[in-house]
Chain A
Amino acid sequence: MADNLLPLANHKRIDMNAILGTPRSLATGPGRFWRAYIAPQLAAFGGSAQPAIDSVRPDEQFAPSASARQFPSLFALRGVGKTYDGGVRALRDIDLDIREGEIFGIIGRSGAGKSTLLRTLNQLERPSEGSIHFEGRDLLSLDAAELRTVRRRIGMIFQHFNLLSSRTVAGNIALPLELAGTPKVQIETRVAKLLELVGLVEQRDRYPAQISGGQKQRVGIARALATEPRVLLSDEATSALDPETTQSILALLADINRRLGLTIVLITHQMQVIKAVAHRVAVLDDGRLAEQGEVADIFTRPTQEITRTLLREVIGNEMPPGVRERAARLLDGSGRLWRLAFRGQSVDRPVLAEAAERFTLKINLLHGYIDEIQGLPFGSLVVAASGAASALDAAAAFIAAQEISVEELAP
């Protein structure tokens, strides 16, 4: 607990945090989380500004402690490694920072260590080396009771939902609250709100066997949110669902992230999932962190082969074989084959038309796509350009000057 804030009442401390906080924490930090989510809940519980479910979470959560300021990220992993008993190294030297309020994706092929990495975040998997800090606290130094308290602030959803078949939808959602010793009346109010949040009010008395996969995952999400966690861990939450249901679950996660400011860490082997919801992404390959960064950057400028391979499923940056043949026919020995990579505003400019006009070139469009991530358009076009050699050189330079990368391909 920060000493300078101690004399203030609990709810004042939260205001102080909003005032003292960095612009980032103003936007997505605990202050917003409190206002958007906790405070209305508490009002429903009886209007108290004090956290009603005191046993669930110590109140230091709402005001970052001094140590939390030293670790601005929600999770800070340093040199994390995991070697299993048999000598299998699942993770090596992972450095990762997960920021408050973001959706952080971890992608990799099966066996890359994604699941192990995610499970180190709530200590279902204990790393063999390195350190993990959550809200500035060293997770590895916690005793069993402290760890249980911390785990209530880290919700988790699973690929196979892991719902109790012996409990109804409402019973499953109530479970974490029962475990935390929340009074019955509060549990009922809270479950009703959560059912509404995930759109399952009518299914409240059904058993998991009587609802669809997408509905089961919604129960999983409601259950994970029951103790008002700070972060949601998602373990391949959409991998067992059909594409349409996947979209609706991803939309729900994105909505929860936006409305509640809840941090989400998700692992997946599907690039579409990353593209649909993640803000930042880490690519895991054979237990190592191949690369990480903003999703838009990783999508448009992947530096690692593994990333390119994973990206192939969402963007057709692989040229169909017929393209080269058509290029050879069109160019007939002269001219050039270019691959142009666009991103951001450069997509909107009529660069090709301008280049064709200015340098009197003939430009044929052979292959391409334009897509969007996080509102940022990006694309790649393969074009065959024919004209005078000097004009072609000048055109290439002109296009490159418009923030479009030009790669010359062998026809």
Chain B
Amino acid sequence: MSAELLNLFRDSLLETLWMVGVSGAIGTVLGLPLGVLLVVTERHGLLQNPPFNRVLGALANAVRSTPFIILMVAVIPFTRWLVGTSIGTAAAIVPLAIAAVPFIARLVETALREVDRGLIEALQAMGATPWQVIRTALIPEALPGIVAGLTITLVSLIGYSAMAGAVGGGGLGDLGIRYGYQRFLPDVMALVVLVLIVLVQIVQSAGDRLARRIAHR
């Protein structure tokens, strides 16, 4: 494989990491509070507000039920307004982040639900405010689950980012399509697949290790 191609490989890998990293970070920043809200606003929750909870849940489901390839195209006007273009890595980050938010929110919600109700009761008995319960009990206790959820999200985002490549988003997916598929370079295609596999393995095992380390069960 030529040095030029290797350079291209390196750039594509960095683009993928960048897209996944930034969209994952945005997704976490917005998805985590959303997941908390989904739990605390439900009936008998800490800050129960069933109507709000239903609206929030419906929104999350709406985004999650839209196939990513459709979502990517559907949000193009928004993407263009936000980053000025609908092509390239920066443009790909917008739909990736939009997809990641409800995904993370639901995973966070599931992790928070695993927290024993007795703990929340104990905190309330100590005179904790709802916010204190969330901050000192709910999130720390659910953290291993949240980390596991974020790991799943990153793995999914790696897959989604390859899809973004298909419509000009850059990254390893783009490389695979343009060189591996359209220029008939099967070794490039094979390498793209291999790198993606290794990348997912690394993310998954790092996530598992982190989750284990913070879980004192």
**A→B interface (CB under 8 Å):** 122, 124, 147-152, 154-156, 158, 160, 162, 164-167, 175-176, 178-180, 207-210, 223, 227, 233
Which A-B residue pairs are the 9 nearest by beta carbons? A207-B216, A151-B127, A162-B122, A148-B127, A166-B140, A156-B125, A162-B118, A176-B126, A152-B127
Q: How many residues of B contact A (CB 8 A)?
A: 22
Do A164 and B127 form a contact, CB below 8 Å, given A156-B122, A209-B216?
A: no
Interface membership of B143, Cβ < 8 A: yes
Bound CA span A143–B215, Å: 37
Interface membership of B208, Cβ < 8 A: no
Q: Is the Cβ of B125 less than 8 Å from the Cβ of A164?
A: no
Do A179 and B132 form a contact, CB below 8 Å, given A154-B125, A165-B141, A227-B126?
A: yes
Q: Is the Cβ of B128 less than 8 Å from the Cβ of A166?
A: no
Q: What are 7 A-B pairs with beta-carbon distances under 8 A?
A: A148-B127, A151-B126, A156-B122, A165-B216, A166-B143, A175-B136, A179-B128
Other 5 A-B pairs with CB < 8 A, given A162-B122, A223-B126 = A151-B125, A164-B141, A165-B215, A166-B216, A175-B126
Do A166 and B125 form a contact, CB below 8 Å, given A160-B118, A207-B216, A209-B217?
A: no
B124: contacting residue among A124, A160, A167, CB under 8 A: A124
Bound CA span A180–B119, Å: 17
Bound CA span A207–B213, Å: 13
Minimum CB distance partner of B137 in chain A? A164
Q: Is the Cβ of B140 less than 8 Å from the Cβ of A164?
A: yes
Bound CA span A317–B136, Å: 50
Q: Is the Cβ of A122 less than 8 Å from the Cβ of B143?
A: no
Minimum CB distance partner of B44 in chain A? A85
Which of chain A's residues have a CB closer than 8 A to the CB of B215?
165
Interface membership of B116, Cβ < 8 A: yes
Do A162 and B119 form a contact, CB below 8 Å, given A167-B140, A207-B216, A209-B217?
A: yes
Which of chain B's residues have a CB closer than 8 A to the CB of A124?
121, 124-125
